[in-house]
A and B are shown apart, each in its own frame.
Chain A
Amino acid sequence: GAVVSQHPSWVICKSGTSVKIECRSLDFQATTMFWYRQFPKQSLMLMATSNEGSKATYEQGVEKDKFLINHASLTLSTLTVTSAHPEDSSFYICSASIPGDLYNEQFFGPGTRLTVL
């Protein structure tokens, strides 16, 4: 099946620093990737849709200057949390869909646990 990886799996950083999270589709090309945020014991919240070669589409309420998304190739999307603060601490999950898939099935990465001190 389609595999999506994320790196790092966990990261701890100081307040005010920036953190980059990578999302890779390992065995397929993904023109579209998605970034989610998950708070403890809650469902996933879509942050943005990342399209290869174009600007990401952010959901309402998500600060695009704080959460920078780059989708420079068909297998890699990155999420950079700029000037991170403790309230940005969360579990971030990416997913990717196979181009042309009729059912819009998404394949999820293992997630990245971000802790901002």
Chain B
Amino acid sequence: AQSVTQLGSHVSVSEGALVLLRCNYSSSVPPYLFWYVQYPNQGLQLLLKYTSAATLVKGINGFEAEFKKSETSFHLTKPSAHMSDAAEYFCVLTGTASKLTFGTGTRLQVTL
């Protein structure tokens, strides 16, 4: 069975501060992992994906994530938060099946 756990349903950071959104996974097969962002009343936009080519993955808008097999983690980071980063973030896992396993989501709030 596959599962994704996102620690912290709500994260608040100051503008310019480091963003860290946590994601841990469980999978019986080598995982493919994604981070998606969702703005209000919109669909999901891909930020980045891990496909086993490199453990440190760089995505759009300055985000990156590091795959750590020993910790079964795929945390999302950004060095300096912008107001425009405020959104819902989903960590997503795929395995051998075509279905996606979603985390519960983390709402990022950016304050002045």
Contacts and interface: CB of A to CB of B under 8 A. Distances in A.
Interface of A: 4, 6, 32, 34, 41-44, 46, 49, 91, 93, 95, 97, 102-111, 113
Contacts of A49: 98-99
A76 to B, nearest CB: 17
Contacts of A102: 51
B44 interface: yes
A32 B98 CA distance: 9
Interface string B47-79: 001010000000000000000000000000000
Given A32-B98, A104-B100, 9 more contacts: A44-B102, A49-B98, A95-B44, A97-B98, A103-B49, A103-B51, A105-B32, A108-B36, A108-B43
A111 B18 CA distance: 30
Interface residues of B, number: 22
Contacts of B41: 91, 111, 113
Contacts of B45: 108
